Amino acid sequence: MPIAFSEFLKILEYVADKKEKVVSYIDQWYPSTKTCSVCNYVLDELPLDVRYWTCPSCSTKHGRDSNSSVNILRVGASTLGLGDVRLSRTAISA
Ligand SMILES: [Zn+2]
């Protein structure tokens, strides 16, 4: 049986509390998909069918969802006062 999104959030908060974790919410209108996670350039629009895009400012190629997840992580961490959170990158040896 499907549950309402609000019920899902209650379950998520309950489980997080039991595990001594925090659920952080961000502004639902924050443009996480349209904001470049490298240089913070914000596109005017990004149609739903566009899954990949290139930033006109820094030329970084983004996957819509992966770019969005990086931005959401940073905004959530910032909201919790964790400062500037950077994702770890795999070291590439020459
Ligand atoms: Zn950029």
Q: Mind listing the pLDDT tens digit for each residue in 33-67?
A: 999 999 999 999 999 999 999 999 999 999 999 99
Residue at 93 is within a domain: no
Neighbours of 54 (CB within 10 A): 11
Q: Is the pLDDT of residue 94 over 70?
A: no
**Confidence grade of residue 2 (pLDDT, cut at 50, 70, 90):** confident
Q: How many domains does the chain have?
A: 1
Residue 58 belongs to what domain range? 25-86
Phi, psi of 16 (to 5 degrees): -60, -45
Q: How far is the CA of 59 from the centre of ligand 1 (A)?
A: 6
Entry pTM: 0.77
State the pLDDT at residue 90: 61
* Distance, CA of 60 to CA of 67 (rounded, Å): 10
Q: Does any domain span residue 34? A: yes
* Predicted local distance difference test score (pLDDT) of residue 29: 93
Distance 38 CA to ligand 1 centre (A): 5
Q: Is residue 12 part of a domain?
A: no
Residue 76 domain-assigned?
Answer: yes
What separation in Å is there between the alpha carbon of 83 and the centre of ligand 1?
Answer: 20
CA–centroid distance, 61 to ligand 1, in Å, is 9
